[in-house]
Chains A and B, each alone.
Chain A
Amino acid sequence: MEKIINKNRIFIIIISLFILIAFEGKTTTPSSKVDRRIEMENILPKKVGDYKAEGKDEIYNRNTSFQYMDGAAELYRSYAFKLLMVRNYKKNGYPSLTVELFDMGLPEDAYGIFSYQTEDEEVGIGQGSDYGGGLLRFWKGKYFVNVFSEKETPESRKDILIFGEAISKNINENGLKPKLIKFLPEDGLSERSIRYFHLHPILNHHYFISHENILNLGKNTNAILADYSFPNAKNKTFLLFIQYPDELQSKKAFNRFLKAYMPEAYSSPHKKVKTENGKWTFAKNHKKYVLVVFDAPTQEKAEGLIVEAIKKLSRK
C-alpha cells in the first residue's frame, strides 16, 4: 500500500513538473518577443538635434518583412533576421530621415548583412560602417542599422552621421565577428572585401559559381569569401572558406563541387585546374571545411593561400 502511495506521489510530481515547464514555455515566448521590441524601441532615439520621431513605428518579422521591402527581404532572411523596426524622423525645412533597425539574431549575422555591401566610406560608427549616396549602414552587437535620407545634401550627411552615433551609443553590447575570419591568411587580404553568408545566392552575387547549389550551402553552413591582391597580378584572387556541420557533409559537398566545377581534377591527388580565363583554381577538403581559391595568378599562390588557412585552422 505504501509503495502504491509513493508511486502515485512520484507520478503527481512528474506531471506537475511537466505542466510547470509547459506553462513556463508558453509565458516565455511572448514576453521575449515583447522584450525584443522594447529593447529596440529604447535603441532608437525619439529626438536627435531638431529631428523628431514622427508617426508610429513599423514592426516587421521574417514573414511580414516582404510587405515592407518586397523581394529585398530575402537578403535579410538569408541570415538569422528576427525583427525590423522602422522609425521616421522629421525636421522643418529639411529632408526626412528613416532609420531601419534590424535584430539579426546573432552578431555574426549582423556582421554578415553588413558585409554584403562595403563599397563606400568607412565612417567609424558602430563596429563597422559604410556611408555613401545618402545612406549609412553599420553593425553593432546583434543589430544592423540603415539610416537614410529622402534626399542627399551636405547637411543631410552630417545629420545622418549624428543619428548613427546616437543609435550606436544606445546599443550597449559589442559582438564578435564570425570565427572563420580569424583563419584567413593576412598577406594580400582586402579586409573590406570579406563577406560572410550562409546561402548560395549570396555567394553568387559576389562571385558567381553556378546557378545550382554545387557547394551544398544552407542555413547550417557558414561561409566567408575574401579578395586577395598579389604584387604584379592585375586581377584579384578569391578565397572561399566554408564550414559545414560535420566532416561527412563537407566531404559530400566537396565531391559535388569537384564533379561540377573541376571534373578534370576529380580523380587526381591535387585538386587544381587552370581555368578558361588563364587563372588557377585550387580546392581542398579539410575536416569539416572546404576551401577553394579562385583566379589565382599561379598554382603556387593558390596553394599558398590554402596551406596558410589550414595552418591557422590547425593552431586554433
Chain B
Amino acid sequence: MRPKNHFITRRDLFRKTAYGVLTIGFGLKRSGEAKEEKSRVVLIRDENVINKHGKINESIIQQMLDQGVCNLLEEKDSLHAWKRLIKPSDIVGIKSNVWAYLPTPEELEKAIIKKLMEIGVFKKNIAVDDRGVLDNPVFKSSTALINVRPLRTHHWSGIGGCIKNYIMFVRTPWLYHGDSCANLASIWNKSIIKGKTRLNILSLIYTQFYNRGPHHFDRRFVSEYKGLLIGKDPVALDAVGARLLQLQRIAYFGEDRPLDTTPKHIYVADEKYKLGISDLNRIEIIKIGWMEGSLI
C-alpha cells in the first residue's frame, strides 16, 4: 500500500508500465472480484481517405464515420445508430478545433453535419465552433454536444485530445495550465457541457506525434495515419490516443522516448473526476479497416 503522500516519480514508471502505475498511484481501485467495467472505442482506418493530391475524400470519411458509429453501438444501420445518439429535436453543438497548423478536417465536420440533418435535426439547430462557443447561440442553448478534434502532442498537457478540447468553454483557459493541465476534466462539469456529450471523435487522419517549433508544430512530425477514433468515453479515447502518439515517436526516432510529458490530466479525469476510464487494460479497442502500420 502506498503512503498517503507518495508522489509518482520516474522510478515508479520504471517499475511498471507508464499508464498502469499512474492509475495505481492515483489510488484507483481495481476490483478483483466483480467483472470490471470496460470502455469501448472504435479505431477505423482507410488507406484511401487521403488522395494522391493530399485532399481528404469526403465520401470515404463519411463511410468511416458511419461505420465507426455503427460498430460502437453494434448497429447495422447508420441512421439507426445515430438516432440512438441524437434526437431530431436536439440542438447540437459540434465542438471542433481550429488550431491553424492542424485543424479538424472540414470534411469530417461536414460528414457529421450531414448525418445530423439526415436523422432530422434542423440545420438552424446545428453549429460548428471552437473559440466562439461561449457566445454561440446554438451552443448556449444546446441539448447535445459532439466533441471532435485532431489528435496531437501538446507541450503543456502532453496531448491535445478529447478532454482538452473543451477548454474553450471557459473564459480563462490559462488558469487550467497549472500542474500539466491536471484539472482539465473539471471543465466537463460546467453547466453548458455537463451530461450533453453524445459522441467523441479523435481525428487520426493526420496526427502530430512530436512537438517542435515556435508553436509546437513541425510538419516533419505529422503522420498520415488515415484513421478515426470514436467513442462515448473521452478519457478512453485520450488514453488510446496518447499511447498511439508514444508508439509513433518510438517508431520514428528508433529509440524509446516513453516519458515525454506524460499526460497526467487523463488519469486525473478518471480518478478524481470519474469522467471515464484511462486504464488501457480496461479499454476494448474494436479495429476496422486498413490496419497496416496501425501500431496499436
Contacts and interface: CB of A to CB of B under 8 A. Distances in A.
Contacts of A276: 11, 14-15
Q: Is the interface of B mostly helix, strand, loop or mixed?
A: loop
Contact of A211 (B7, B177, B220): B7
Contacts of B13: 208
A146 B7 contact: no
Interface residues of A, number: 34
B262 A71 contact: no
B155 A209 contact: no
Contacts of B282: none
A290 interface: no
Interface string B261-288: 1101000000000000000000000000
B80 interface: no
Contact of A260 (B9, B155, B260): B9
Contacts of B15: 276
A148 B220 CA distance: 14
A243 B171 CA distance: 36
Nearest to B267: A211
B156 A135 contact: no
B266 to A, nearest CB: 12
Contact of B214 (A135, A201, A261, A277): A135
A211 B212 contact: no
Given A201-B180, A210-B8, A260-B7, A277 B260 contact: no
A133 interface: yes
Interface in A44-85: 66, 69-75
A212 interface: yes
A203 B150 CA distance: 27
Given A205-B260, A211-B262, A148 B9 contact: no
A247 interface: no
A290 to B, nearest CB: 16
Interface in B215-235: 215-216, 218-220
The SS class assigned to the A binding surface is: mixed
Contacts of A208: 10, 13, 259-262
A25 B264 CA distance: 44
Given A66-B174, A211-B179, A71 B214 contact: no
B157 interface: yes
A14 to B, nearest CB: 43
B249 interface: no
A117 B212 contact: yes
A119 interface: yes
Given A70-B99, A74-B156, A201-B156, A211 B8 contact: yes
B45 interface: no
A180 B13 CA distance: 30
Given A72-B214, A72-B216, A205 B11 contact: no
Given A209-B9, A261-B11, A277-B14, A74 B174 contact: yes
A275 interface: yes
A69 B99 CA distance: 9
A73 B215 CA distance: 8
B264 A119 contact: no
Contact of A72 (B14, B155, B264): B155
A275 B212 CA distance: 31
A100 interface: yes
A242 B11 CA distance: 21
A88 to B, nearest CB: 14
Interface in A131-183: 132-135, 137, 146, 148, 152
B32 interface: no
Interface string A194-214: 000000010011011111101
Interface of B: 7-11, 13-15, 99, 154-157, 173-174, 177, 179-182, 212-216, 218-220, 259-262, 264
Given A69-B215, A74-B156, A212-B8, 11 more contacts: A70-B215, A71-B174, A71-B177, A73-B174, A148-B214, A205-B261, A208-B262, A210-B9, A211-B182, A211-B262, A260-B9
List 4 A-B pairs, minimum CB-CB distance, nearest first.
A276-B14, A208-B259, A146-B214, A210-B9
